[in-house]
Amino acid sequence: MSDMTRHIHSAFDRDLEGIQAQIMKMGGLVETAIRDAARSLETRDEELAEQVRAGDKAIDALEDSLNDEAARVIALRGPQASDLRVVLSVMRMSANLERIGDLSKNMAKRTSVLTQFPPVNGSAKSLRRMAREVERMLKDALDAYIQRDAELARDVIDRDGEIDQMYNTLFRELLTFMLEDPRSITACMHLHFIAKNIERMGDHITSIAEQVVFVVSGEHPDKPRTKADRTSFDPAYSLDTDGE
């Protein structure tokens, strides 16, 4: 390796460290957004919800800055093969993080609508449990990225099935509540939205974990990314309410 190559290489490494520090910062903000959004829903804390909504701007700004920085590094350093893969994966990961931030913001927005209704049978608690799982998955996915740990990343991908399972159970529960008490319909519709949002966070985290596998192995992990949202085809969810 010539001195010149060594020089270029270490400059790239320095750039990459900066980018990775930004991704971790962004990930930390998103973890907090998930946690606070779920907590504001359970404790009916509108102030905390407002904080989550306002905090999303910082997440969006980090995405823009990460993308600009990644483009700058590509143009300036012309990274090849696995280095290029790392930089490109950062752009995708930041897009996923930004989406999770949006979903947290949407969840927080519904807190102020839901406080207008009586709580629905512990649903907020179930949602918070689901959110906690998702938050753990995100933490592990980011750890897997920093440690280039494909095994941990694959574990995260597997755990998305549990989130889907939690969602399916909640969907069924909400349908039952609505049938039992039509006055709960509007609140249940909002709760259902939130459940679906958390389930989608799981999908984005899975996609981050897939990027980790891609960065480490150079290969896209096995799809099928077939969704386990069974509400779309499992007859159990049809509930036959009109005797069909």
Q: What is the binding site for a second copy (CB under 8 A)?
A: 60, 64, 67, 71, 74-75, 78-81, 84-85, 88, 91-92, 95, 106, 109-110, 112-113, 116-118, 171, 175, 178-179, 182-186, 189-190, 192-193, 196, 220, 223, 227, 229, 231-233, 235, 237-242, 244
Quick one: which H or E segment has residue 79? Answer: none
Q: Which is nearer to a second copy, 162 or 229 (CB)?
A: 229
Q: Which is nearer to a second copy, 145 or 171 (CB)?
A: 171
Q: How far is the CB of 183 from a second copy (least distance, A)?
A: 4
Place of tokens 């049938």: 179
The sign of the CA dihedral 174, 175, 180, 181 is: positive
Are 108 and 52 in contact by the 8 Å Cβ rule? The answer is yes
Q: Residue 216 and residue 149: Cα distance in Å, rounded? A: 8
Provide the residue type at 172 as one letter. R
Q: How far is the CB of 230 from a second copy (least distance, A)?
A: 10
Q: In this structure, how many other beta carbons lie within 10 angstroms of the beta carbon of residue 50?
A: 15
Q: Which is nearer to a second copy, 21 or 179 (CB)?
A: 179
Q: Residue 105 and residue 123: Cα distance in Å, rounded? A: 19
Q: How far is the CB of 57 from a second copy (least distance, A)?
A: 9
Q: How far is the CB of 176 from a second copy (least distance, A)?
A: 10
Residue 219, helix vs strand vs coil: coil
Q: Residue 92 and residue 78: Cα distance in Å, rounded? A: 18
Q: Which is nearer to a second copy, 9 or 92 (CB)?
A: 92
Q: How far is the CB of 88 from a second copy (least distance, A)?
A: 6
Q: How far is the CB of 179 from a second copy (least distance, A)?
A: 6
Q: Which is nearer to a second copy, 96 or 126 (CB)?
A: 96
Q: Residue 143 and residue 137: Cα distance in Å, rounded? A: 10
The pair of structure tokens assigned to 159 is 């755990």
Q: Which is nearer to a second copy, 29 or 88 (CB)?
A: 88
